Amino acid sequence: MIRDHNPQLARARHLLFMPDLFNYFLTGIKQSEFTFASTSQLLNPRTQSWDNEILAALGLSPAIMQDIRMPGTDIGPLLDSVCAKTGLESTLVRAVGSHDTASAVAAIPATDSNFAYISSGTWSLMGFESREPVITALAQKLNFSNEGAVDGGFRVLKNVTGLWLLQECRRCWSHDGQTLTYEELVRHAEQAEPFRTVLDPDNPSFTNPADMTMAIAESCRTCGEPHPENTGQLVRSILESLALAYRHTLGQIKEIRAAPVERIHVIGGGSQNDLLCQMTADATGLPVIAGPKEATAIGNILVQAMAAGEVEGLADLRRIVRESFPPKLYAPIVDRRWDDAYGRFQKLKQATDERS
């Protein structure tokens, strides 16, 4: 808007992000929730307040920014007009981790802090928790961001391409009349030859191709990897390559994190994929704890309960998640073929980095 000299910005008196706008419609109160504000690139993570230097560089007035509110606190009561239109009785609207990954990570059933996590879906958000932001040259080089957590700490994470590749292949197959459930696709993959084809899921050619199956075939041709010849081989190559990408990102996490990483928690829709979870354990050599699949909704609800005084902080919230949604454990199985496959993956990753 600044670059394009948008006249709306010149007339604006208040800036609200989308979650804050909905809360304003419900309560009439203008505020900015911390976890979402932390993704705006306008927040100083050290002070947890708006960064006036950045605002000045953009020519934005600090006056249009709202006070920052932490998750697990009350925003205010529903407006009388909302109650009248909906038939609801007056009730408090409470701040949650309005960034979906913030709510999801809150619902990790962890018992300590020595873990990395993967919020697994179309994207894989992989990272760790930290009381303080990690702002170093190495973290910047490795493309990690500092996003707010519901307890006021930080989710130090990076985006890894997730099940997008499989989703897009499935869409292509459906256009050809081949309708397969994810369970059927996994069964095909289980029967396919392991470690036949390695991909770099973050290859830019996979970002939004017209036909993902053709994009993968072209990538294999370019990189010298064997082309998957059937559905099972293609699905297995995607899942194995995701597990290798997680191993790669785990290595980066260990470079920038002071504390040890003893396990990986997988939450979200991808936590239901038994084969991918086992591959992740095998590729990384760490136990994988999977679930809950609906982590975002669960974290949202329990942070509201925290605001209401029914949950006594994040540790209590996670205890409730463990007891309500028992996680599934995948112990790593030693197979040296993962090391060979990872060597191939690293060469592909280096080639991708050089091209970008």
Residues with catalytic function: 100
The answer to whether the beta carbons of residues 42 and 55 sit under 8 Å apart is yes
Q: What is the DSSP string of 233-280?
A: HHHHHHHHHHHHHHHHHHHHHHHH-SS---EEEEESGGGG-HHHHHHH
CA angle 168, 169, 174 (to 5 degrees): 95
CA 22 to chain centre: 22
Residue whose structure tokens are 């911390």: 34
CB atoms within 10 A of CB 198: 22
Instruction: Go through 96-125 and write b for each residue having 16 or more CB atoms within 10 A of its CB, e for each that does not.
Output: bbbbbbbbbbbbbbbeeeebbbbbbbebbb
Helix (H, G, I), strand (E, B) or coil at 316: helix
